[in-house]
Amino acid sequence: TVGANETAKSIKVQFLVVDCRSLYQCILGRTAIADLLIVPSTAYLKMKYYTNKGQVATLHGDRVGEEMFRGSN
């Protein structure tokens, strides 16, 4: 599921779980990105996608989490 409440959109995706430190909670493959019609921006830590109602929603990343991860290395 991407988003929450009225901006949520869900599809079935097969995940591979990897035990490692990472900035990301999950990494989406090309097929999931295409199925959800996601437009990712790594430079701005954002993803735009269409909700089930056809509206554009935006997910925002967290730079604080990124800074904490880099500082702990």
Q: What is the pLDDT of residue 68?
A: 63
Total domains, the chain: 1
Mean pLDDT of 26-31: 81
- Find the mean pLDDT for residues 2-17: 79
In a domain, 4, yes or no: no
Residue 5 placed within a domain: no
Mean pLDDT of 12-40: 81
Domain of residue 36, residue span: 26-73
Task: Reply yes or no on whether the pLDDT at 73 is more than 60.
Answer: no
Going from the C-alpha of 47 to that of each of 58, 71, 73, the distances in angstroms are: 6, 25, 27
Residue 12 lies in a domain: no
How far apart are the C-alpha atoms of 69 and 3, rounded to whole Å?
Answer: 23
Q: For 31-62, what is each residue's pLDDT tens digit?
A: 888 888 889 887 788 889 888 888 899 988 77
Find the mean pLDDT for residues 8-18: 79
